[in-house]
Amino acid sequence: MTQVSSELDELADQVSIEHENELNDFLYSFKNKIDNDEMPKAIEILQDQIDKKNENEKIKRPPNSNIIYTNQLNRFGFLDIIRKFCDKHKINKQKLIPLSKKVSKILWKELPEHYQKFFETLASEVKAEHKLLYPTYKYQPIRKKSNFTTFKPYEYKTKSSSVQSIPEPDGQMEDEEESDYFDDNLPKFDEGPRHSPL
């Protein structure tokens, strides 16, 4: 676990202790919204995507149950509780979203199973609706190019065999003569006289 993740876990625990009553009230209200059928339907969840879509814009994936759950938490004021905590403790605003994700996981565990199933069912409905709207859609992730260069281990060729392993660290070569190591087709350079260091 990284230091940042560990720090966020501690802050999430602190939020759940300091705002316990507020979070309990919020969760109670949230469950009532589900019970009273006040959650958006599958087509409404996709509606924002439909409204904003231009001809050249890429079709987005249908959101999964976790994304739908966190979006609905935020829609009903969850971020306001986290923002209040961040303001009180002068926590950098960049930690607002990562911290809200950690606290939302805590709330998820407190949700009874049938409420969790509600979001899984809703995600399935969204996926089915998405398939009706975009029948030719196929998920094709674009891999981000790495900033790191990858290197293959060096393998040298000899006269007797096509590929040999890298020489041992002590400079010894396995069962090969030193002359076999060099390619005769490469140009030869005269090194000239060597100068001793001053």
Residues 117 and 167 in one domain: no
The pTM assigned to this predicted structure is 0.67
Are residue 126 and residue 28 in the same domain, yes or no? yes
Q: Are residues 39 and 122 in the same domain?
A: yes
Same domain, 13 and 79: yes
| Domain limits for position 82 | 3-133
The number of domains in the chain is 2
Alpha-carbon torsion angle 78, 81, 85, 90, nearest 10: 80
The per-residue pLDDT for range 102-119, each reduced to its tens digit, is 999 999 999 999 999 999
Same domain assignment for residues 44 and 100: yes
Q: Do 25 and 80 have their domain in common?
A: yes
Do 77 and 172 lie in a common domain? no
Co-location of 98 and 161 in the same domain: no
Q: Output the pLDDT for position 50.
A: 74
Residues whose CB is less than 8 angstroms from the CB of residue 139 and which lie 6 or more positions away in sequence, other chains included: 61
3 state SS for 45-86: HHHHHHHHCCCCCCCCCCCCHHHHHHHHHHHCCHHHHHHHHH
Q: Are both 172 and 129 inside the same structural domain?
A: no
Residue 56 lies in a domain: yes
Is 113 a domain residue? yes
For residue 139, tell me if it sits in a domain: no
In a domain, 143, yes or no: no
End-to-end CA distance of the chain: 53
Residue 106 belongs to a domain? yes
Does 193 map to a domain? Answer: no
49, part of any domain:
yes
Domain membership of residue 66 (yes or no) is yes
Residues of the chain with pLDDT under 70: 1, 52-56, 146-198
Q: 15-49 pLDDT, tens per residue? A: 999 999 999 999 999 999 999 999 999 999 998 77
